[in-house]
Chains A and B, each alone.
Chain A
Amino acid sequence: MVSRGKFVLHSRAVPPLTAGDYVLQGTQTLTTDGNRPTAPYEAHLRVTSPRFKLPPDQILSTYPPANSEGAYESRLPQIVIKRRTLPWERAADPADRKVPWLALVVIAEGEGQISAEVAIADCVTPGVQLTGPNDVARGIYLAVPKTTVTKVFPTKQDLPLLAHVREVDLEDTELAMGDDDGFLAVVMANRLPQFDRVACKPVRYTACLINLEGQLGVLPPPSTPVKQFAALAQVFNVLDYYQYADTGGGSPDKVVMATTVQPAAAAAGVAAAAATGAAKTKAKTPTAKQAKSAVPQPGVAEDWRATTRKVENVALNTASAQAAYAVRDAMKGGFRLPIEGIVAEPVYRFPILAHWSFTCDGGGSFESLMRAIDVGLLGTLPGPGATRKRPECAPPPKGDAPPAAPAARPKPEVAETGHVGLAHQTRVGDAVRAWYRGPFVPSPTDREIATTPRGPALAHTSDQLRAVVPDGREDLSLAIAFEIGRLLALSRPAFVGAVMQWRREQFGAERARRLAGRATANTAKLADALKGNTLATFGPLLGKTLVLETAVKRAAVLGPVRPPVDPGRPIDFLQDDVLGLLSVGLAIDASVLQTLKKTGSVSALDGVDVPLGKTGDDAAQFNHLLQTVRAEVDRIATDALGGKRPDTGAGAARAKGAEPADALDDMIRALIEKWKRET
């Protein structure tokens, strides 16, 4: 037995029988009392094993997780299978049963094609025959050109190293993951996912568990190993072929003979050749050639995230019966460009037992990410030297200067206490700034805002929690917290119901009980009143008493009466001598104002001269002012009279009593004439 947290590794678990049909023959010889012949026994039995499709319950886990994004550069993808013998249940190489028939290959977008469901006879490279019973009638296959096979697929010698058996403790939930016997088969891939450092963008990979039966010979021969490699995402890109193919569907002749070079037709060619919708998103992917001149663009990742999100949407929205199929189908997006017929080299087909996709969105590993992390208390702003560029990206190629970085957003206003200054529009519409601090603070805070004799203070509305800090701004933190709590509670009818019920059943019941107690305590006194009256008149009596009492002690019962009009704010300087103020301010004789106050008639003002400023030292300035005013009066009057120049200079004769016609009179006259003409 394996102890918890430990595990035992076994190189392989080779079952004595491979999958297939067998006949079990038995004969028995009875020799007692002479030779008695017995009928031979013959039993047909079939050893079954998945061949074209892995039952989903056989997959215990995959790494990287399906449809995930992460910095997986230093980890080999792997799949953990429940049945320990599975990788050896078929003989890929009948001479050497140690060689598993399963391999996990990792391909990037453009390096291969994952087919739709076809009959299983079409799932292998044409010419390859698989004998024996099959598990399903239809399956999917991976079509890869020879280049991909040579560069990415494991060699035959690698295969035994890529599969092993792990024995774990069944009680250990982390390692056993719900297995039934504690033995798991693990199949590793031989390729490290790469982040595209040249174009500085994530790369989407699909890991396929493929069947190698009958096709071991296709695998690449051992090569001379190297100790260093240059990270490039793709070893092969089918888009390069589309680049030069004509719109008619891509004849290999054109590529091989180089008769036509039509890079501009690339997008159209893709759309025409690939009927699937997924191909359109693929067309946006920069090819390897374009990528080399591309500059790092943070926005590029969005294209790739879209696929991940699409898969998630499919997972959430599809009916449960078809969800598994739909999700797997959506993951194939980007791996659907037909390769056969386009690529001018042999294309091989391998049946896919299981596949999942993931995105390598950064260099490094968990360790490098965690070591590079910026540590601080909340409220620490990134320093001036903080660089936003992804460190793992290669420098942009020389010659093409990268576009200037967008202007940095102004730094937020952060106080040492963790408060952030934010724009705040008050209820009357003033645009001011207020302080806000979330629940996360850089230093310990006091819990009690204030305490009442009965305990901690309780706010009933958010406004009670607004505060003004010494710099004159409002601190809205707690008021906002109150509002969030209130709105979150209101959004949960179940909670509101529970609170209301609690209040009603406990407080309401207690109140009723006490009132009843009070009422029954007074029954002796009530008895006198009830003596002369029957019960029928008690109700009206009670009501009448209530109304009368309320009328007498209105303020005590109903509360104080609010006056119909609120007095305005008193204006201090008007408390004194108003007439004196006016007389001084307007330079009018006080006696005139006295008359005005007494009679209330404005005509008293007619005889008052309008004081003119003295033309003293600044005579020029005064004249200029006068000219301007006159010119403006003229302009307005001219407008009003429809172009006719008014008779100006009438102001001088004003005090004489018989006033000559002025601009207003002209206007009235003109209007009257116009009216006469019209009638």
Chain B
Amino acid sequence: MATTRFTATSILSELKSMPVGYKPTFGDRDPKLGEDRVTPLAVRDWLARLRLLEGVPFNNLVADSELLPLESIRFFYLDRAWTDALVQGALSVGTVTSSDRAQLEALYPAVRKEIDEQERLVRLPGSEARQFGAAAQITGFLLRSRAVSGWPGLQVRAYRREIGNDEDIIPESSPDRIKLLRLERLAPAVLLALFDGVPAVVHVEEPRQGVQFGIKLIPQGDSNSFTATVRARDVQTATDIEPKLNIPVSFRPGAPGVLDLRATGETFLGTAQTHMNADGKLDGAEFALQMIRFPYRQVFGDPNSPNAVEKGDVFRPTVARNLARLLATFQEKIP
């Protein structure tokens, strides 16, 4: 019979040869950007997030609590073989027949490449430019400290080289800066950061939201008694007085931690370098200016590096102060 040419064997061989010659069609087309992707966006995005370890139980990230003791920071490289295995596990869902698996095998190199590119798009802060291409060697750190629980919204920045005082924060797309792929608190006191490259310097900074007022506590003798100082500023220029001048803070007797503001203010007033004595009176703005404490920045890097900045010089913010007293005028005009 002539029909034997169209046999079960030929159908089977056809099925078997399919995945080998299979050319993927594009599942996700964006004509505007000219981007064609095999993997649909929903799948791609979820897998990229999985690559950045979203949802992975903490026990599997750090196998033993001794590896991340209290008050510690641990830097690491990300094992891409591990994250690839994670993705392979996710892709294995719903592969029932060997033809499903054959198709997945044919498709996998393209899918993996697309997820590599997607990793950089998971975290896109509004002001940052989009970066293309696959992420580089991913590194990061785990920080377990009371600093994480007490200061929600820590700022973390990584740099390829020591750039000194970056008062004007350079964008993530700059060649000196390393993109932050993920920054998340895994537990109240545990912070995870993933970087798109191997940083030379990492800055961890107190959140800038809101300005804080405070003093510097200095323990005396036994650990239970303290004195406190404030580094004085010149209220005319709003910069720190050079050479460094620490003004002692006064406290109310019998009331631990309660400041005697009047007495402290008068100490400021009596210090000529602060230039507060212009009108002989102490006012709230001048006092606030002295008490403002700027976010502290901790720098992790190689102190022996030739570019390393001197400690303390990394971040020195300034305060602008309006000398024309707007409100005083306002008050004079409408008595």
* Bound-complex Cα distance A455 to B107 (A): 10
B66 interface residue, CB < 8 Å from A? yes
Nearest-neighbor residue (CB-CB) of A500 within chain B: B94
* Bound-complex Cα distance A376 to B118 (A): 30
* Bound-complex Cα distance A69 to B226 (A): 22
> Number of contact residues on B: which range applies?
35 or more
Chain B interface: which of A491-499, A592-600, A620-628? A491-499
Q: A369-B146, A525-B2 are in contact. Are A12 and B211 (CB under 8 A)?
A: no
* Bound-complex Cα distance A121 to B258 (A): 31
- Which residue from A10, A477, A498 sits with its C-beta under 8 Å from B327? A10
A-B contact pairs, 5 of them (CB 8 A): A78-B212, A446-B81, A454-B105, A454-B106, A525-B5
A222 interface residue, CB < 8 Å from B? yes
Q: Digit string of B78-114 for contact with A (CB within 8 Å is 1, else 0)?
A: 1111111111111111110001110111111100100
Nearest-neighbor residue (CB-CB) of A489 within chain B: B90
Q: Are A10 and B325 within 8 A (Cβ)?
A: yes
Beyond A231-B224, A549-B7: 13 further Cβ-contacts under 8 Å? A11-B327, A68-B152, A69-B149, A69-B150, A70-B149, A75-B214, A222-B262, A226-B251, A369-B146, A382-B66, A382-B72, A414-B67, A498-B42
A526 interface residue, CB < 8 Å from B? yes
* Bound-complex Cα distance A454 to B72 (A): 44
* Bound-complex Cα distance A522 to B3 (A): 9
Q: Which residues of B contact A (CB under 8 A)?
A: 1-12, 14-15, 18, 22, 24-25, 27, 39-40, 42-43, 46, 50, 53, 55-57, 60-64, 66-95, 99-101, 103-109, 112, 137, 140, 142-143, 145-147, 149-152, 188, 204, 206, 208-217, 220, 222-228, 248-265, 282-289, 291, 293, 296, 298, 300, 318-322, 325-327, 330-331, 334-335
Nearest-neighbor residue (CB-CB) of B80 within chain A: A447
Q: A394-B222, A481-B89, A498-B43 are in contact. Are A378 and B75 (CB under 8 A)?
A: yes
Q: Are B225 and A377 within 8 A (Cβ)?
A: no
Q: Are B256 and A225 within 8 A (Cβ)?
A: no
Q: A194-B256, A197-B224, A557-B8 are in contact. Are A441 and B298 (CB under 8 A)?
A: no
Min Cβ gap B24→A in Å is 7
* Bound-complex Cα distance A492 to B11 (A): 36
Q: Are A235 and B220 within 8 A (Cβ)?
A: no
Nearest-neighbor residue (CB-CB) of A422 within chain B: B63
Q: Are B256 and A229 within 8 A (Cβ)?
A: yes
Q: A412-B64, A481-B82, A502-B43 are in contact. Are A557 and B6 (CB under 8 A)?
A: no
Min Cβ gap B36→A in Å is 13
* Bound-complex Cα distance A144 to B133 (A): 63
Q: Are B214 and A165 within 8 A (Cβ)?
A: no
- Which residue from A75, A376, A448, A557 sits with its C-beta under 8 Å from B9? A557
Q: Are B56 and A449 within 8 A (Cβ)?
A: no
Which residues of the other chain, B, contact A376 by a CB distance below 8 angstroms?
72-75
Q: A439-B53, A549-B9, A556-B9 are in contact. Are A162 and B212 (CB under 8 A)?
A: no
- Most chain B beta-carbon contacts within 10 A, residue among A362, A370, A501, A511: A370
Which residues of the other chain, B, contact A549 by a CB distance below 8 angstroms?
4, 7-9
Q: How many residues of A are counted as interface, with CB atoms below 8 angstroms from the partner's CB atoms?
A: 172
Which residues of the other chain, A, contact B263 by a CB distance below 8 angstroms?
222, 225
Q: Are A438 and B254 within 8 A (Cβ)?
A: no
Q: Are A490 and B93 within 8 A (Cβ)?
A: yes
Q: Digit string of A388-403 for contact with B (CB within 8 Å is 1, else 0)?
A: 1001111100000000
Q: Are A192 and B257 within 8 A (Cβ)?
A: yes
* Bound-complex Cα distance A439 to B85 (A): 10
Q: Digit string of A636-649 for contact with B (CB within 8 Å is 1, else 0)?
A: 00000000000000
* Bound-complex Cα distance A162 to B283 (A): 10
Closest 5 CB pairs of A and B: A70-B150, A485-B89, A455-B109, A225-B250, A151-B255
A117 interface residue, CB < 8 Å from B? no
Q: Are B327 and A485 within 8 A (Cβ)?
A: no
Q: A370-B147, A394-B224, A459-B85 are in contact. Are A158 and B261 (CB under 8 A)?
A: yes
A460 interface residue, CB < 8 Å from B? yes
Which residues of the other chain, A, contact B137 by a CB distance below 8 angstroms?
444
Q: A151-B258, A231-B256, A394-B222 are in contact. Are A75 and B216 (CB under 8 A)?
A: no
Min Cβ gap B15→A in Å is 7
Q: A10-B285, A13-B327, A394-B223 are in contact. Are A74 and B66 (CB under 8 A)?
A: no
Of residues 405 through 453 on chain A, the ones whose CB sits less than 8 Å from some CB of chain B are 409, 411-412, 414, 418, 420, 422, 436-449, 452
Q: Are A506 and B81 within 8 A (Cβ)?
A: no
- Which residue from B2, B22, B220 sits with its C-beta under 8 Å from A529? B2
Q: A367-B296, A440-B61, A510-B22 are in contact. Are A75 and B213 (CB under 8 A)?
A: yes
A44 interface residue, CB < 8 Å from B? no
Min Cβ gap B187→A in Å is 13
Q: Are B92 and A361 within 8 A (Cβ)?
A: no
Q: A61-B210, A366-B206 are in contact. Are A11 and B286 (CB under 8 A)?
A: yes
Which residues of the other chain, B, contact A80 by a CB distance below 8 angstroms?
210
Q: Digit string of A453-479 for contact with B (CB within 8 Å is 1, else 0)?
A: 011101111100100000000000111
